[in-house]
Structure formats: structure tokens, C-alpha cells
Amino acid sequence: MTTKYEKLLPRFLGYVKENTRSDEDSTTVPSTSRQTVFLKKLEDELVNIGLENIRIHPVNSYLIAELPSNLDYDVPVLGLISHVDTADFNSENIQPKVVENYDGKSVIDLDDKGEFKLDPKEFSSLKKYAGQTLITTSGDTLLGSDDKSGVTEIITAMEYLVAHPEIKHGKIVIGLGPDEEIGTGADKFDVADFGADFAYTVDGGPVGQLEYETFSAAALKVKINGKDVHPGSAKGIMINALGVANDFQNALPDEEIPEKTAGRQGFYHLLSLNGTVDSAKMSYIIRDFEREGLNDRKAKVEEIVDQLNQKYGANTVEIDMKDQYYNMIDVIKDHMDVVKIAEQAMKNLNIEPDEAPVRGGTDGSKISFMGLPTPNLFAGGENMHGRYEYVAVESMEAAVDVILEIVKLNNERKNN
């Protein structure tokens, strides 16, 4: 097929085949060496495109590159950010499938056996992609549109500007970073070194998403110390760690889980439970749009821990609970001009902005609190983080269009 941006599709297909999954149990930056390998490949690509001051930051491992201004006056420096890692789902041997001219109603078989399907009856979003080209998984891996789409779109936009010097633009800096999916990628982001006056993460979902209100978030690790003895003489002695884990989960509000919440409702989400009678570990994420609500949820966890330790004995349940990021609206509300530029760019392209609060977070949440206002633009993906993930080529093209339109609108913002 032919695309509006010639290299966009092959670039994306090449990127997603690279395994760049992050690892929350790692203590290195990046958390996996495969991200470093990919970042170095991108570094070579950016050199070939013709960007300048290309470097991998020695502390945070962001790949940073610059496109100098070709204006004869100063405008604010635009930053564009995305992440190279993918989520906690099988990402080995990704084999993307291209479905051209999808009719919007047919069932798409992902695997050869027909076990996994994209069915419009289950995934109603498919209906809006009639006549478009979809990129899907092969059923046994994720796709990696989150955020290989964003990486593709940013690099494609930069390549287009280099190839079209007649398009006027101010200075643009891009940052491609690791470990967003494990919540640590932006922890050491260097705003001063990056050098932008305002920025966008290109890390959202379907066309039109413009996000500047996110969850406030915490991560919770629970360790349960059981006591394993022979079951024949266990009465009054045994403490079954798996049973205590069950008590912990059941003590949380049973309606406040992702599958039972929507809109502005927060939740507790059990990610994993592993263990034996002797010892068990649980991993959670905790989400709420309000900082006070997040604090209330953390207080609920501590209350449950106290109750269980009173019941089973001191230190039976131990926790490690840390805040991850906060609702970026607390910062963006004072920089709504950044939102207005993106809104206008979309409207100029006949794209209706969708500004609903995002039930998630982006690196832009942390970066905004570091002093660089960074709302989130759509990257196009649907059903992200699993085998049913897909993205339309036309959605990625639209994201490139929006980036280029933001660049043009920024030309009107002369610095005093």
C-alpha cells in the first residue's frame, strides 16, 4: 500500500519487531539491555536523517536530538517525547499483520488456528476503521503500538521537516526514553538538558485524544510471611500465606477494581500473586484522579495491614507503597496555552479533540511536575498492552499531521 508518509509503515513494522519490554524488577537504567540496543539503532537513524546534537543522556538514557530553527526570529522551543519500552506481555518474536482496506465489520483472525480474533461485536472500535489499513498482532504477542507508534510518528515528522526546508519552524527537540511502562522512565528526566519550553508526549490512544488530566498513582508491593508446618498438626500453628493474601484482597472494596469502574472512578488493581504456604507476594497499582482520594486509598491499605497483623501476628504482612505520579492538571491548569495550541492544530485538520481525563498516566505527568508542561497527544493505538492491540496506518498519519500543524502554529508565538 502507499501511505502519505512513505517510510511510516515500514518504519513502524521494523520497530515493533524489536523486543523492548521493560522489567520492573530491574535496578538498571534502562531496566533491560534490549532497550539500550534499540535506542542505539534509533540514534544511528537520527544521524542519517540529519538531526543535530544527538546523544543518549548518561543518567536517564533518553535519546535526545534537535532540529535547529529555520526562522529569523525566536519562538518557544517545542519538545516531543515518547517511550521505546513495551508493556508486561509477551513481546518476543512479534509478527505484525497488515490488514488492508478493512471493511469495519469482518472478524479478523489473529492466529492461524483462529483461536484469537478481533471481532467488532466485542471490540466495537473496529467499526470506525472501515476502509483503513490496520496493523494487528499474530495473537500470541502484544503489538507495541504503545509507544512504537509515538516513536514512529515523531521521527517521521522530523524526517519530513528535514526533507522540506520550505516549511518554517522553530527549534524542536525530541526525547525517546525507556521504562515508561514500569513507571520509572521519567524519574531522572533532565528538563534543563532537554531544553524545551513546552512539550507533548505522543503516547495516547485513538485519533483526537488530547490528555492533560491523568490519574494520580501509587505502586504497592505486599509481602506475606506465613508459617508452614505439617498439615496434620497445623491447628493453631500454621499461617497460610496464600490464605492471608486472600484476606488482604477481600478486604479491599470489591467494586473498586478496573473492570467495575469508569470515568473519574479510581481503583485498586491486583497485578500479580505468587507464593506458597510459607510466603506470598502481591503487586498492585492504586489509582485516583484526586490527590486526596489517592491518600485515602493508601490509608485503607495501611488499615488492612494493621488489621491482618493484629489477627495473624506482627510483621505477617509487610508493604512497600510508593507514589508514582500525580494528576498533571495541577500543573497544566496554569499553562493552558499549550493545550490550546494542540486543540487548534487538531481543529485545523478537522479532528475533533477528545479531552476526557485519561484513565492512566504518561511520562508527561512527572515531567510536568518537573517544570515542563507536557500534555499527551494521541498516537493511534487501540486495545493496548495485549494480544488484541491494533493501530490504523491512517491514525499514525494523522498524528504526524498534528505534530506538523503544532510546529506551524508555534511559529506565531514570537518570544518577547
Active-site residue list: 85, 180
Cα 204 from Cα 188, distance rounded (Å):
22
Which grid cell sits at 224?
Answer: 506475606
Distance spanning both ends of the chain, measured CA to CA: 46
Q: Identify the helix (H) or strand (E) that includes residue 288.
A: strand 279-288
Cell numbers 544511528: residue: 44
Cα 190 from Cα 255, distance rounded (Å):
40
Burial (CB count within 10 angstroms: exposed 0-12, middle 13-18, buried 19+), residue 411: middle
Is the Cβ–Cβ distance between 178 and 37 less than 8 Å? no
CA distances from 193 to 62, 143, 181, 370, 415 (A): 11, 32, 23, 12, 20
Q: From the CB of residue 200, how many other CB atoms can be counted at a distance below 10 Å?
A: 31
Residue-wise burial string across 50-68, b where 16 or more C-beta atoms lie within 10 A, e elsewhere: ebeebeebeebbbbbbbbe
Torsion sign, CA atoms 188, 191, 195, 199: positive
Amino acid at 268: Y
Q: How big is the chain, counted in residues? A: 416
Cα 89 from Cα 21, distance rounded (Å):
8
